[in-house]
Amino acid sequence: MLRKLALLFIVVAGGVTAFFVFHHPPMRLMPPPLLYQTDGQRIFDASPALEVDSRIDLFYVTNRLPVGTQGSRIYTVAPDRRLHFGTATLRIGEDDTPIEQILEWSKRADTGDRPFIRLERMQEAATLPQGAEPDADTLAWFESVDAALAASRNRDVLVYVHGANTTVERAAGQAAQLKHFAGRDSVVVLYVWPTAENFLRYSRDIENAFGASPHLAEFLELLAAHTNARNIDVFTYSAGATIGSDGLARLATDAPQAAERLGEIYHAAPDADFRGFVDDLQRYSGYAERVTTAVNLGDSALRLAGAVNRASRAGRPDLAELSPAATEWLLAAAAEDDGVDILQVHPENMPDLAATSHTFWYDDPWVSNDLLLALLFNLGTAERGLEPGTGTSGTGYWTFPTDYPERIAALGRRLAAAARMQATP
């Protein structure tokens, strides 16, 4: 009897482990940022020419190896030496979900279970070998990006780089949040890199991240050369910061003219080697309009990542690992108004955030709100309602004050009024 119970326990434990290793549900629509909870309707109404429906279209670029027909690609976990360009279509909820329900989900957090964002199709438009000059198909893809920019009030391109252990569908769902909560009035490009889609193979993901960074640098250079984007904004999440940090440093070194086009850079919970991250930051931060690094010092995922990598992560840093020169530079950069900002997320001061959260950028309405204010409205830290502070090491940082919702309500009224004036002929 005991042997049967032990065998049953092993089978159940194995099944539970396999579920968490291989189960990757689609993303759910995140709780609306605070700005939408106070002024959501006015934000959507400020773009009357835009139709809000259940489907969201994104541009994408990937160095994953594709299979299937060009009109309906599936991208594997294997890396490719080529870049693939295309468009993705996603759907919020079901085919028959009313528009009114989508808007309700987009303005209220207390609407029960959030709907899934499902990937319906990936339409590849072009393939470019590494280092090759763009062909006609690739140039046509960049022209489609320019056409989208011309139809938008926001003339910046936002490039999103996802984290490790992420399927293409979940990565696209995360990028779709950015497009949706920009009032659909933004040009978002998802950079999809090859992850093993298995948290037990995290080390392989980090290797693939370093392998993807030259591709990202090449893509950013092409984007600067072949579009009329005012600025190129880059948002990285988790291990996407390993790609983004190294890729941005490569861009600044190898193509400084293209790096001049960098706008807002935002790293959320960056899973990147802290020392390398600071070294890279010194190389590219002078080109960007602003670099924000959002960290939660209680982040349990980065605690584990630090142990695996035997080095602290940029999202949970240990200043003792830096050289004296690097420490001096970081302290000075964080203290001065030169566009390098550290945002400390203090869950104990935030009503709905778990102390160990790693997914705070899309789980918490305060953090997603700050992200949108930075990337979509290009507001500085003080303008975004944040409060300055100084750590025990002397590092200057910004954080969310306890009256943050009241500050955002007032800011929302000003932004909505400005948007209505801009929309008026």
pTM for this one?
0.91
- The pLDDT value recorded for residue 14 is 38
Residue 106: how many CA atoms within 13 Å on its side-chain side? 27
| Cα 341 to the center of its chain, rounded Å | 17
pLDDT higher for 296 or 46? 296
Model confidence at 294, pLDDT cuts 50, 70, 90, reads very high
Model confidence at 288, pLDDT cuts 50, 70, 90, reads very high
pLDDT higher for 388 or 415? 388
Helix (H, G, I), strand (E, B), or coil: what is residue 217? Answer: helix
- The pLDDT value recorded for residue 15 is 37
pLDDT surpassing 70 at residue 56: yes
pLDDT surpassing 60 at residue 21: no
pLDDT surpassing 70 at residue 35: yes
CB atoms within 10 A of CB 395: 18
Q: Token pair of 226, please?
A: 């072949």
- The pLDDT value recorded for residue 301 is 97
Quick: pLDDT tens for 303-353.
999 999 999 999 999 999 999 999 999 999 988 766 899 999 999 999 989
Provide mean pLDDT across the span 177-196: 91
Q: Token pair of 47, please?
A: 């773009």
Provide mean pLDDT across the span 187-194: 97
Provide mean pLDDT across the span 293-311: 97
Element (H, E) at 7: helix 2-22
- Helix segments in 181-335, DSSP class H: 202-226, 240-254, 256-259, 274-284, 300-309, 324-335
- The pLDDT value recorded for residue 66 is 96
pLDDT higher for 421 or 306? 306
pLDDT higher for 200 or 79? 79
Provide mean pLDDT across the span 383-411: 91
pLDDT surpassing 70 at residue 420: no
Please tell me the distance from the alpha carbon of residue 258 to that of residue 224, in angstroms, as a whole number: 6
Of 20-24, 220-224, 232-236, the one with minimum mean pLDDT is 20-24
Percent of the chain with pLDDT over 70: 88
pLDDT surpassing 60 at residue 5: no
pLDDT higher for 264 or 97? 264
Q: At what angle do helices 274-284 and 240-254 cross, to 10 degrees?
A: 40
Report DSSP state, residue 42: H
Of 86, 56, 66, 265, nearest to 159 (Cα)?
A: 265
pLDDT higher for 113 or 75? 75
Please tell me the distance from the alpha carbon of residue 303 to that of residue 307, in angstroms, as a whole number: 7
Of 60-64, 213-217, 418-422, the one with minimum mean pLDDT is 418-422
pLDDT surpassing 70 at residue 295: yes
Mean of the per-residue pLDDT values for the chain? 89
pLDDT surpassing 60 at residue 48: no
- The pLDDT value recorded for residue 43 is 61
- The pLDDT value recorded for residue 80 is 97
Percent of the chain with pLDDT over 90: 71
- The pLDDT value recorded for residue 18 is 35
Q: Report angle CA 348, 351, 352 to the nearest 5 degrees.
A: 105
- The pLDDT value recorded for residue 119 is 96
- The pLDDT value recorded for residue 95 is 85
- The pLDDT value recorded for residue 47 is 53
- The pLDDT value recorded for residue 110 is 77
Model confidence at 418, pLDDT cuts 50, 70, 90, reads low
